[in-house]
Amino acid sequence: MKFVIAPDSFKGGLTAKEAANVMAEGIKRVFPNAEYALVPMADGGEGTVQSLVDATNGQKMIAKVHNPLNKLVNAEYGILGDGETAVIEMAAASGLQFVNKETANPLITTTYGTGELIKDALDHNIKKIIIGIGGSATVDGGAGMAQALGARLLDADNHEIGLGGGELASLEQVDFGGLDPRLKNVDIQIASDVTNPLTGKNGAAPVFGPQKGADEEMVNILDKNLHHYARKIVAAGGPDVEQTAGAGAAGGLGAGLIAFTGATMKRGVELVIEATQLQKKAVGADYVFTGEGGIDFQTKFGKTPYGVAKATKEVAPTAPVIVLAGNIGKGVNDLYSSTAIDAIFATPEGAKPLKTALADAPIDIAQTAENVARLIKVSHVSN
């Protein structure tokens, strides 16, 4: 009998690798001699670097970069087991964790550090880069990232403009000539489920600006500046990314990556499934276990359990997919209607405070996995 165990992290409690290990621990109490394929997963958001490094026996890298407030910090990224693929979470350099209520200001915050992470990866002869772009503190359209990679963004006096979304108003000319030439030989893929355009009522500034510290006046300024920025990119011979789906992700970093690095955009969980070779590992599976900290009706819109279920059903169509979750929210019956997910189980043992639930997660997840395995064993005996 073969079990594929491919969970996301249980946020605040377990990494994806730890969750996979405790699920396997529980199942092995019932099926000690079964075959197990453990595949730590993610959906492109927080934890993607850790999951992919764990799943591929890769390594963590540390680079000194500038955070959104232009202060030097150490930021992590990963190089996967193939030695040719880097995985970056832009939040490691340009995320909200670097600002607070007093310092959050998208007129000045920058993605420069994200560009520095990309450059550091290039220094390791990388051929492919996966970039997760959730959790940004910026609305600069990826301008800082582009500057770190050698693009010149010039004002009317032919001087480099400053950093931050507010500085885009003074942009007069975009010069692609200085971009790091190694970018031409690297496949850059953006892990994002965001479909918002760069500008307009559904654009980066109105939709995401407020969560990064923008008031109404700032939102109007930033949206106008991003429109101006997009027009200058086109004037310099670059692509028109203003209304491209996903260009507004991470305060417009999606647009910057597409325009300056030739990046393509894909659902985060799909990129992780590809990088971990989940489908190859799921061939011949009898049962698939997945899960994460919480599951509800939104899970079918690009979250890990649903992505795992769809992908494994393609190669092991008769293998039931079982989801273990720390919390089951509203609308989970919608997930059953897809025929991809077969059963959902909550892992906490009894009602308990969140702090206690997180501390007990390893024991509770293992116990729930064991309980499900016992049910599986009974069903096999009865058949």
Residues 336 and 372 in one domain: yes
Which tens digits make up the pLDDT trace of 270-285? 999 999 999 999 999 9
Does 380 score more than 90 pLDDT?
no
Reduced to 3 states (helix: H, G, I; strand: E, B; else coil), residue 310 is helix
Asked if 69 and 201 sit in the same domain, the reply is yes
pLDDT at position 383 is: 57
Same domain, 86 and 221: yes
Q: Which pairing describes strands 35-38 and 59-66: parallel, antiparallel, or unpaired? A: unpaired
> What does pLDDT average to over the chain?
94
**Co-location of 37 and 52 in the same domain:** no
Task: Report the C-alpha gap between 70 and 149 in whole angstroms.
Answer: 16
- Res 93 pLDDT > 80: yes
- pLDDT 10s digits, 170-197: 999 999 999 999 999 999 999 998 899 9
Q: Is residue 272 part of a domain?
A: no
Q: Taking the C-alpha atoms of 305, 326, 18 and 357 in order, what is their torsion angle to the nearest 10 degrees?
A: 170
Total of domains in the chain: 2
**Residues of the domain holding 182:** 48-266
Q: Do 229 and 183 share a structural domain?
A: yes
Tens of pLDDT, residue by residue over 107-154, are 999 999 999 999 999 999 999 999 999 899 999 999 999 999 999 999
Find where tokens 């010069």 sit: 175
Q: What CATH number is given to the structural domain containing 206?
A: 3.90.1510.10
Residue 381's pLDDT is 65
Taken as a whole, the chain contains a residue count of 383
Spatial CA neighbour of 147 closest among 264, 263, 259, 231: 259
User: Span 62-91, mean pLDDT?
Assistant: 97
Residues 241 and 366 occupy one common structural domain: no
Q: Residue 377 above 60 pLDDT?
A: yes
Q: Which residues of 213-223 are buried (b: 16+ CB within 10 A; e: fewer)?
A: bbeeebbebbb
Could you count the other beta carbons within 10 Å of the beta carbon of residue 239? 15
Q: Provide long-range contacts, Cβ within 8 A and 24+ apart, for 335-343.
A: 335/295, 335/297, 335/299, 335/300, 335/306, 338/300, 338/306, 338/309, 338/310, 339/313, 340/306, 340/309, 340/310, 340/313, 341/305, 341/306, 341/309, 343/372
The model scores a pTM over 0.75: yes
Residue 274 falls inside a structural domain: no
